[in-house]
Amino acid sequence: MPIKNLHIVDDDRIYRKTTASLLRRADLAINITSFEDGIDAIEYIEANACSVESLPDVILLDINMSFMDGWEFVRQFSTIKSKLAKVPTIFMVSSSTLESDRSRVAKLHDVRGYLLKPVRLDDFRTAFKLVLAPPQ
């Protein structure tokens, strides 16, 4: 089963394009929306807080963005989460192999997992299975 609404939040244009086309080709997602900074993504969610149809099911969130980075996005997301008609599942996606980044992600309750760039199709498949299965 593909993900219905998927958001890619990343300031890397090429990553956004390649990821979207990769996921579409593999039928892993139906509607893919891209944002180039955390601020744009959080504003979209705030604006569509009540709409189950518009809210994403999955967010692929970059850590390192120039204006609002992934950390700040998660912080703001956590404060508005309770008002959302549907709570999206967030995956942090980063090229960082730093242990400090990994362990920081592990401490975030609202982040489901950490995907290291380049993300293979199999990695996406495994991650999305988590979304479809109810959390333990």
Partner 1 sequence: MGYVKQAAKPAAKGLDFRQVVHKSLDLICLHELDGTYIYLNPSIYRMTGWRPEDLIGKNPYQYFHPEDLERIRAESHVKVVAGDTQTMSEFRFRCADGQYIWLETLTQPLFREGEALPYQLYTTSRNISRRINLHNKLQTQQHVWEEASKMGRIGSWEVDVQTGKLHWSKMVFEIHGLDPTAGPVTNVDRAVSFFPGEARTIILEKIAACMERGIPYDVRLPFVNAQGDELYVRAIGKPRKQNGQIVKIYGVFQDVTSEFQLNRELETANRRLTIQRDQLMDFNHIIAHNLRAPIASLSVINQMIQDIETKEDLVQYQQMLSELAETMKITVDDLLDIVKIRHSEARELADVSFPLILEKVLRLLKPQITQQKAAIESDFSVLEQIHYSVPFLESIFLNLLSNALKYAHPDRKAIIKIRSYREQGKPCLLVSDNGIGIDLERNGHKVFKLYKTFHRHKRGKGFGLFLIKNQIEAMGGSIQVESVVNQGTTFKIVFTI
Residues in the chain, total: 136
**DSSP state, residue 95:** S
* Distance (Å, whole) CA 11 – CA 48: 22
Judge whether 64 and 96 are in contact, CB under 8 Å: yes
CB closer to partner 1 out of 39 and 84? 39
103 binds partner 1 (CB under 8 A): no
Nearer CB in complex with partner 1: 27/136: 27
Is the backbone of residue 29 left (phi > 0), alpha (psi -120 to 50) or beta?
Answer: beta
Instruction: Say how many residues touch partner 1, by CB under 8 A.
Output: 26
Under rule CB under 8 A, residue 117 binds partner 1: yes
Nearer to partner 1, 122 or 135 (CB): 122
CB 91 within 8 A of CB 59: yes
Q: Find the binder of partner 1 among 96, 104, 113, 123 (CB under 8 A).
A: 96
Q: How far apart are the first and last CA of the chain?
A: 20
Residue from 82, 97, 107, 122 touching partner 1 (CB under 8 A): that is 97
Residue 118 touching partner 1 (CB under 8 A): yes
Taking residues 49 to 78 in sequence order and writing x for each that binds partner 1 by CB under 8 A, - otherwise, the string is --------------xx-xx-x--x------
Rama region for 27: left / alpha / beta (φ>0; ψ in -120 to 50; rest): left
Binding site for partner 1 (CB under 8 A): 12-15, 17-19, 21-22, 37, 39, 63-64, 66-67, 69, 72, 94-98, 101, 117-119
